[in-house]
Amino acid sequence: MLFVGQRGFWDEQQRVAKLQEKKPILTHLTESIPWETFRPLLDKGYSQECKSNAGRKRIDPLILFRKPMLQQLFNLSDEEVEFQVNDRRSFEEFAGLGVMNNIPDATIVAFFRERLRKAGVIEELFEMFEGYLRDQGLEARGGQIIDATLVPVPKQRNNREENKGIKADRLPDGWDENPNRLQQKDLYARWLKKNGINHYCYKNSICIDAEHSFIRRFIVTPANIHDSQMLPMLLDPENHDDYVWADSAYAGECIEDLLSLGGFEVASIKRARAITLLARAA
């Protein structure tokens, strides 16, 4: 007969040790990356903040920053990374959180990322992080997997004239007079019909390192931009392996010509759902 008792402190410690042995990469990054070097750039996102000590103490920006890093590495949405940090101990540890800490939700992370975007430091932060990955021997290798995923956003309640102006990349009349309303409007997401279903969303095009499964490059566009248009900006010249995998969205003579100009030889393109070999270095 088996008896299940209450877990003690040492049981939890042994559980964490076993998890770290089986999936050591995130633990290795947590311990080896000098996270404090990111702080000067992260603090720029709070440079315009009121300096009053009143109110709730702000969350350490380093904790908030590690969640977008998980998103980059594993292609997670704000809601997905919130769930994974709650569900997976390795993600929780990487984010700098313990079992007694409250985990920032998706909305907080989204607001934080918007602060960094307005401060103009996002690209520099990601480049620093990529540099540390290379320093730890996690260079891009094993070939490249190119893919695109839809990122849904709340549907907008605009009239026909307002939508006409947005599609023409023009701010609808009167919107600039109400900044609070404007902050709640999305001017860049677009509709896309896929498998007979209409989606209002963005498109996240990514280049994945086939060996480590880390995302090395990404581009976010309105959903109506075709996948293939992002290929030139996604291909990673630093990947040690010559192969590129993609699906049929990247097929066509223009893509073949582009790959040839980049020194790639088109190997095979199959119109199937599964990712297939697209090209290898000539």
pLDDT of residue 194: 87
Q: What is the mean pLDDT of each run of 10 residues along the chain (282 residues)?
A: 45 49 69 89 72 63 85 79 82 72 77 83 86 80 83 83 84 80 80 89 88 81 90 83 79 76 62 51 54
**Radius of gyration (Cα) for the chain, nearest Å?**
22
Nearest-CA neighbor of 228 among 202, 215, 246, 244?
Answer: 246
Q: Residue type for 209, please?
A: D
DSSP state of 206: E
Is residue 65 a contact partner of residue 113, using CB atoms and an 8 Å limit? no
Q: Helix or strand or coil: residue 279? A: strand
Distance, C-alpha 67 to centroid of its chain: 9
**Res 168: pLDDT:** 83
**Buried/exposed 60-84: b ≥16 CB within 10 Å, e otherwise:** ebebbbbbbbbbbbbbbebeebbeb
Residue type, 98: G
Per-residue CA distances from 111 to 37, 119, 183, 247 (Å): 22, 12, 12, 34
Q: How far is CA 101 from the centre of its chain?
A: 24
How confident is the model at residue 51, as a pLDDT? 53
Write phi, then psi, for 220 (nearest 5 degrees): -105, 125
Task: Supply the pTM of this predicted model.
Answer: 0.63
Provide the 10 A C-beta neighbour count for residue 49.
Answer: 10
201: its two tokens = 């969303």
What is the C-alpha separation between 214 and 231, in angstroms, rounded? 18
What pLDDT score was predicted for residue 148?
Answer: 87
What pLDDT, on a 0 to 100 scale, did the predictor assign at position 37? 93
